[in-house]
Structure 1
Amino acid sequence: MNDFLFGIFLMLVILGVYSWLSTSPASAQVAIAEINYKGKVKGSESDEYIEIVNNGSTPADLSGWRIEAGNVDQVFYFPARTILNPGDRIRVYTNEIHPEWGGFSFASNQPIWNNKGDEGLLYDAAGNLVASQRYSS
């Protein structure tokens, strides 16, 4: 019986350490700053964007993080070695590339953000929800 309890204790310790390691302290400081959902480009609204900010004091590695915009085909994954420094902001546009904002795009020919209301979701590389922002017109 003691071996059984020790086994359970050991498993709980391992799970606790794994949970602690998989939670990035930086993720608590990364947030959605803005969703610009009313693009000026007629039809495609390619100039829409979601803006991500690092409110923390250390760089955040966004490699493998993803943004979801409500539909299966509206997902953006940050590429490897995407670092967001403290105080910095990056934008992911619907279908434009702006190097001054990181150069990221959903590469969609259709609007990503619904003008009547939608929600942006930001997940870390482990699949944990880090931030969300809902809006309505």
Structure 2
Amino acid sequence: MAELPFDLNRSPPLSPEPEPPNRDPGKQPATAINEPIQEQEVVEVPGLIDIVVLKDMIEYQRALGMYPFEDQHRMQAYSSHWKRFGYGNAAGWKVKIEELRNKYKDHTGGVDEIDPRQKAEFIMWDMVFGNKGN
């Protein structure tokens, strides 16, 4: 397994908060705290960089012995702490995980052929998805 170029115990910073869309000023956006969200509605997962999510998935796998995307109920449990702070809903997290799964799927070269700025993210992606044949 490739050596990570950073300490896995330290979280990388979150990306800057995106500008909220123009909404009715009297109504808050739906979150798991203030409004129930219909399961079929996809609430995107904004503001999190991919490496933060991958790091969280590796920690989850180390703690429980399986990845959250292998079981829908575990996926919901995995993303519940993010949903509490308004980062998407269950449907949005399914979309986010699918985007991550496909991000480097077609990359045929090794880690040396990756842009140096994406090297740590690719190594973590490979730890999560690389050996699964996904």
Instruction: Flag the structure with higher strand content.
Output: 1
Say whether the fold is shared (TM-score over 0.5). Answer: no
**Higher fraction of helix:** 2
TM-score class, shorter-chain normalisation, is under 0.3
Larger radius of gyration: 1
TM-score, scaled to structure 2: 0.26
Calculate the TM-score normalised by the size of structure 1. 0.26
